[in-house]
Amino acid sequence: MRKVVLVTGASSGVGLALCKRLLEEDDELHVCLACRNVGKAEAVRGALLASNPASEVSIVQVDVCSLQSVLQAAGELKQRFQRLDYVYLNAGIMPNPQLNIKALFSGLFSRKVIHIFSTAEGLLTQEDRVTADGLQEVFETNVFGHFILIRELEPLLCHSDHLSRLIWTSSRNARRSNFHLEDIQHRRGQEPYSSSKYAIDLLSVALNRNFNPRVRPGWGLYSSVVCPGTMVTNLTCGILPPFLWTLLLPIIWLIRFFANAFTLTPNNGTEALVWLFHQKPESLNPLTKYLSATTGFGSNYVMTQKMDLDEDTAEKFYQNLLELEKQVRVTIQKNK
């Protein structure tokens, strides 16, 4: 039986590059493209099958910023598949990123210049908004929509007779200082992207704590987080005008000799995601983030980083999500 891989945000960027690389690694896979734009997904499916005719590629339409869309997609997936072997939770947004010019120039002349450019710490703010579900857009897209998807797909994931893997696209920009349990949606802050990525780290740890067979016999779910590095994609292009990217790219190529976080292309950025595909989940540390890295000469490799969090906070966050889930499900039922 073919292994089934579900990838959210599969029509561009890291998601698209990941699908290409996975099928190059194993053309016996069934890859399901979970995308908002069906037209783009159809074009991607055609291209993937042209390059890998022995593979199976399907599409499910889902907008993780719409809970109704998530519920509908989960229902379709449960009708199509008996199990999911890998779920890459990759879709995400960074709306209206604004570069803090003052922080940029002060960082250039500080001892932490490499760290600042590798993580974008303090450099970026975003303008968030409220969705039709009454949630903050970045939180719902990057975290909560995926959480509800997983909850709905538990019958396909939590089997005792086979292992399922969740692999989250997080970030080096996930900062403890930007996340607060009292404000998990980051309504009162200016760095919702960083907050959402830290929330992903917490959620992954909590899922391992609640569903990992090492701590809960009879269940077969493992969760990991990765950072694809700093790339030029649709997500990051809006940070700077195109002419500034043109000017900065040669400098960034030079910085890569000192800061391996600049993977620059989606293909390079998938290194950690593909590496995890081949690992035995029992050998992985649930408190470790796996980082795609690229040398100054363009060679890709994987680094590890201990996540800056504690398991008690992760569990409290998980319980907060469960409570929020109850509230939104009541609202959805009332609106039917």
Q: What DSSP letter does each residue of 53-65 carry, written as one string?
A: TTSEEEEEE--TT
Of the pLDDT bands very low, low, confident and very high (cuts 50, 70, 90), residue 212 is: confident
pLDDT, tens only, 168-199: 999 998 999 999 999 999 999 889 999 999 99
Q: How many C-alpha atoms does 156 have within 13 Å on its Cβ side?
A: 25
Distance CA 137, CA 126 (A): 11
pLDDT at residue 241, as a whole number: 62
Whether residue 237 has pLDDT greater than 80: no
Largest CA distance in the chain: 57
pLDDT, tens only, 85-117: 999 999 999 876 566 556 555 655 556 555 555
The whole-number average pLDDT for the span 262-272 is 92
Whether residue 123 has pLDDT greater than 70: no
Q: Which residues partner with 87 through β-bridges?
A: 6, 166
Homologous superfamily (CATH) for 4-335: NAD(P)-binding Rossmann-like Domain (3.40.50.720)
Distance CA 238, CA 222 (A): 34
Whether residue 143 has pLDDT greater than 90: yes
| Inter-residue contact 54 to 23 (CB < 8 Å) | no
SS3 label, residue 39: helix
The dihedral built from the CA positions of residue 33, 35, 38 and 40, taken in this order, carries a sign that is negative
Distance CA 224, CA 4 (A): 18
Whether residue 26 has pLDDT greater than 90: yes
The whole-number average pLDDT for the span 233-256 is 65
Distance CA 31, CA 5 (A): 5
Of the pLDDT bands very low, low, confident and very high (cuts 50, 70, 90), residue 317 is: very high
Q: Which residues partner with 35 through β-bridges?
A: 61
pLDDT at residue 197, as a whole number: 97
pLDDT at residue 159, as a whole number: 73
- Mean of per-residue pLDDT scores for the chain: 88
- Of 88, 193, 222, 290, which is the active-site residue? 193
The whole-number average pLDDT for the span 301-323 is 97
Angle at 133 between CA 189 and CA 184, to 5 degrees: 30
Q: Which residue has the higher pLDDT, 160 or 174?
A: 174
DSSP string, 77-122: HHHH-S--SEEEE------S-EE-HHHHHHHHTSTTHHHHHHH-TT
Whether residue 14 has pLDDT greater than 70: yes
Pick the closest to residue 261 from 192, 132, 174, 156 (CA basis). Answer: 174
The dihedral built from the CA positions of residue 238, 239, 244 and 247, taken in this order, carries a sign that is negative
Q: Which residue has the higher pLDDT, 267 or 245?
A: 267
Q: How many C-alpha atoms does 31 have within 13 Å on its Cβ side?
A: 33
| Inter-residue contact 21 to 274 (CB < 8 Å) | yes
Placement of tokens 């959402």 in the chain: 196
pLDDT, tens only, 44-92: 999 999 999 999 999 999 999 999 999 999 999 999 999 999 999 999 9
* pTM of the model as a whole: 0.89
Whether residue 327 has pLDDT greater than 80: yes
Boundaries of every domain in the chain: 4-335
Whether residue 319 has pLDDT greater than 80: yes
**Could you confirm whether 193 is annotated as catalytic?**
yes
Q: Which residue has the higher pLDDT, 266 or 128?
A: 266
| Inter-residue contact 33 to 58 (CB < 8 Å) | yes
